[in-house]
A and B are shown apart, each in its own frame.
Chain A
Amino acid sequence: QIQLVQSGPELKKPGESVKISCKASGYTFTDYAMHWVKQAPGKGLKWMGWINTYTGKPTYADDFKGRFVFSLEASASTANLQISNLKNEDTATYFCGGFGYWGQGVMVTVSS
């Protein structure tokens, strides 16, 4: 069955970087794009962008251009989200997925 398993929770300080992973199984990784969604505590869902898992080309929503990087380790059927120069407002749960399936989410807490 299709599964997207994300890495564990992260606690970071402002200015640090974080890389979270999303390991796919149960399907051909390159058949579907991978989307990323942010959910701040108590807030709604916000689409961050997506990465073409065949070509590796990322597309970012405007609010996520600059400090956010989508990448792939295609041989490991894994998609990654890296956030640099973390800010307090990056505190959120980040989901990977799309095509009907989503990971369990990764809680990233940014606090000094």
Chain B
Amino acid sequence: DVVLTQTPVAQPVTLGDQASISCRSSQSLVHSNGNTYLEWYLQKPGQSPQLLIYKVSNRFSGVPDRFIGSGSGSDFTLKISRVEPEDLGVYYCFQATHDPFTFGSGTKLEIK
């Protein structure tokens, strides 16, 4: 199975600053069709996960442009510029290239 390693486990930030989360895959996430099915989710306490980014760098409907996904192959990054209070929670990367699909272990974005 594909293992997604997220770092850091926790990211203390000052509101208004930038945060960066890494997601490294145990194998390339490039599908045989040429697409890379790497997604980013935010889960706030007591809520269901919400999709932020799909196919590495595409923002889902309604997601602010402060959220930027990048990367290729097996190395991916989510950057959040100008962190706001509503950005706090646990971020997960998720791959849907290889069966079984898998989530990373999560990164908690918290106030410094």
Cβ-defined contact, B51 with A100, below 8 A: yes
A→B interface (CB under 8 Å): 35, 37, 44-47, 49, 59, 61-62, 95, 97, 100-105
Cβ-defined contact, B106 with A44, below 8 A: yes
Q: List 25 A-B contacts (CB under 8 A).
A: A37-B103, A44-B90, A44-B92, A44-B103, A44-B105, A44-B106, A45-B41, A45-B43, A45-B94, A47-B94, A47-B101, A47-B103, A49-B100, A61-B100, A62-B100, A95-B48, A97-B48, A100-B51, A100-B54, A100-B60, A100-B61, A102-B49, A103-B48, A104-B48, A105-B48
Contacts of B61 in A (CB 8 A): 100
B→A interface (CB under 8 Å): 41, 43, 48-51, 54, 60-61, 90, 92, 94, 99-106
* Nearest Cβ on chain A to B31's Cβ, whole angstroms: 16
* Nearest Cβ on chain A to B3's Cβ, whole angstroms: 13
Counting chain B CB atoms within 10 Å of each CB, the highest count among A37, A59, A62, A95 belongs to A37
Cβ-defined contact, A102 with B48, below 8 A: yes
Contacts of B94 in A (CB 8 A): 45, 47
Q: How far is the CA of A46 from the CA of B48 in the complex (A)?
A: 13
